[in-house]
Structure 1
Amino acid sequence: MVGKLLVRGMLAGIAAGLLTFGFARLVGEPQVDQAISFEEKADAAKGEAPEPELVSRGTQAGLGLLTGVVTYGAAFGGLFSLVFAYAYGRVGTLSARALSAWLALGAFITLVIVPNIKYPANPPSVGDPETIGMRTGLFFLMIAISLAAMVFSLKVRRRAALKLGAWNGSIVAGVVFVAIIAGVQLSMPTINEVPAAFPAVLLWKFRVAAIGMQVIMWTTVGLLFGALVERSKLLAPASRSAAKSAYL
């Protein structure tokens, strides 16, 4: 059963990757081109020669982008299906579609929104090459902390719901999650390496496009995977005990 869920998760991820690629080509790549143009003009003003292209811009924006987002979608779709298989039957009586949608929303908040609040995506020409290792490490550290905070908050919800009810328990868990994330983000170093002359509108459009790609990715995975599972009847209500025992 888990294998069949994994296949459906990867298929949903591939479909999400294709949709994300279309959005990135139409909305994201024009912002990247403008950022590269800004960088080239800045280098020319300094009298610096342009860096040679190891991979042509056309390949980067075409086959390279397609390969990247589809691989990303397939990988996260597969991981998503494994989390779904573990959670199904353990979080109440949610249907496959409802659970898939809620898991996708949780993943979007945890993996995308939280880390991007502190360390948002930057286009080419923004950021010091010498600090890229540190910036990457901080970004992934923020993701790890966000995941840990989400897991802890869900445990808090389970205990609070027994005493306060499901609704109040959810509110308590949400407050705990926000408090943890706020405290961590205030304590972590702030990085601002945006050149003073870089167009603010271009930076805003690039970051909106980056978030938009993730919205399309996780919305598609959450809705399509749930629909595929529900239509396949792999997890009928009577088989929830089997889903629960699959990881015991």
Structure 2
Amino acid sequence: MNSVPVRALLVRGMLAGLLAGVLAFAVAYLLGEPPVDAAIAFEEQGSHSHGEEELVSRAVQSTAGLATGILLTGVALGGIAALAFCVALGRFGRIGPRATAGLISLGAALTVCVVPFLKYPANPPAVGDPGTIGRRTALYFLLIALSVLLAVAAVIFGKRLAPRLGNWNATVAAVAGFVVAIGLAYAFLPSFNEAPEGFPAAVLWQFRLASLAVQLSLWAGFGLVFGHLVERLLVPQRPGEANAGAETHRAAAAH
């Protein structure tokens, strides 16, 4: 795909990630902050350090801090997804740029968000042993890497099987292989259940579902925005549409 303007796609990917980050921030603020506040209240009930002064206030953490983290994450992931789009474009048959962007976003949502979440869901404050945080973080990123690599292997496997089995059967075989491989990873990787006694189960699951919703909204927003941007960049405009656009522009200028 040497004809693909990589720099232009990278810029559009980062822009789409930024705009998707705005959507994800709204979801995080509306759905994620209430269970975080409830978890902090539970933590403070059993804490003996009420007099300690916070370096960053809770108000800043839940607004500017949250927005900065999500927006920077959106920009970074948008750039990575744009590079993946450059590699994938034209390799999924005759589907266009918008559909390819949608597939990239869907694949990222499944491999980077859903698969790790089912094994290692996010924890609110007061949940989790501080002594295992390093191990839990390493295992979480290991599972993300395994999920992405297995997904790529499943795509390659499916494409090689397609001439013999047909597209449908090859896709089913590739998905089944991915599910089995992920199931084995789930079985061999350790699990953690470190919720403190008395912690409200409703708060725990509200936080976890909100965390998943934030990630899914980020990738959904990215897919929609990036798909629109690359469609305009890569798909030639029809002559009729171009003439209509030029006439509209001239009429607007005349007024």
Q: Give 5+ residue unaligned stretches, structure 2.
A: 237-255
Give a deviation string over 1:34-58, Cα, whole Å, max 9, x none. Answer: 1000000022xxxx22354221111
1:245 corresponds in structure 2 to: none
Measured after TM superposition, the shift of residue 152 of structure 1 is 1.1
Give a deviation string over 1:98-131, Cα, whole Å, max 9, x none. Answer: 1111110100110011111110000000001111
2:105 corresponds in structure 1 to: 104
2:244 corresponds in structure 1 to: none
2:31 corresponds in structure 1 to: 27
Of stretches 197-206 and 85-94 in structure 1, the one that deviates more from structure 2 is 85-94
* Matched position secondary structure for 2:46: helix
Number of matched pairs:
232
1:173, 1:68 → 2: CA distance? 35
Q: Where do residues 116-135 of structure 1 align in structure 2 (5 Å cutoff)?
A: 116-135=117-136
1:230 corresponds in structure 2 to: 231
Tell me if structure 1 keeps the 8 A contact 2:113–2:216.
no
Give a deviation string over 1:157-182, Cα, whole Å, max 9, x none. Answer: 01111111111110000000000000
Q: Where do residues 62-141 of structure 1 align in structure 2 (5 Å cutoff)?
A: 62-141=63-142
* Matched position secondary structure for 1:191: coil
2:119, 2:29 → 1: CA distance? 26
2:183 corresponds in structure 1 to: 182
Q: Where do residues 127-166 of structure 1 align in structure 2 (5 Å cutoff)?
A: 127-166=128-167
Q: Where do residues 194-213 of structure 1 align in structure 2 (5 Å cutoff)?
A: 194-213=195-214
Q: Given the two structures, how large is their TM-score scaled by the length of structure 2?
A: 0.88
2:43 corresponds in structure 1 to: 39
Matched to 1:49, the amino acid is S
1:240 corresponds in structure 2 to: none
Matched to 2:229, the amino acid is L
Does structure 1 residue 18 correspond to structure 2 residue 19? no
Measured after TM superposition, the shift of residue 93 of structure 1 is 1.1
1:196, 1:160 → 2: CA distance? 51
Measured after TM superposition, the shift of residue 235 of structure 1 is 5.1
Matched to 1:116, the amino acid is F
1:147, 1:9 → 2: CA distance? 19
* Matched position secondary structure for 1:125: coil
Give a deviation string over 1:58-113, Cα, whole Å, max 9, x none. Answer: 11111101110000001111111111011101221111111111110100110011
2:62 corresponds in structure 1 to: 61
Superposition CA RMSD, Å: 1.3
Give a deviation string over 1:6-53, Cα, whole Å, max 9, x none. Answer: 11111110000111111111111111011000000022xxxx223542
1:95, 1:80 → 2: CA distance? 16
Q: Given the two structures, how large is their TM-score scaled by the length of structure 1?
A: 0.91
Runs of at least 4 residues off by over 6 Å: none
Out of 6, 9, 16, which is 1:5 matched to?
A: 9
2:248 corresponds in structure 1 to: none
2:177, 2:45 → 1: CA distance? 47
1:107, 1:57 → 2: CA distance? 31
1:53, 1:167 → 2: CA distance? 57
2:49 corresponds in structure 1 to: 49
Measured after TM superposition, the shift of residue 153 of structure 1 is 0.7
Measured after TM superposition, the shift of residue 231 of structure 1 is 1.7
2:194 corresponds in structure 1 to: 193
Q: Give 5+ residue unaligned stretches, structure 1.
A: 237-248
Tell me if structure 1 keeps the 8 A contact 2:6–2:83.
yes
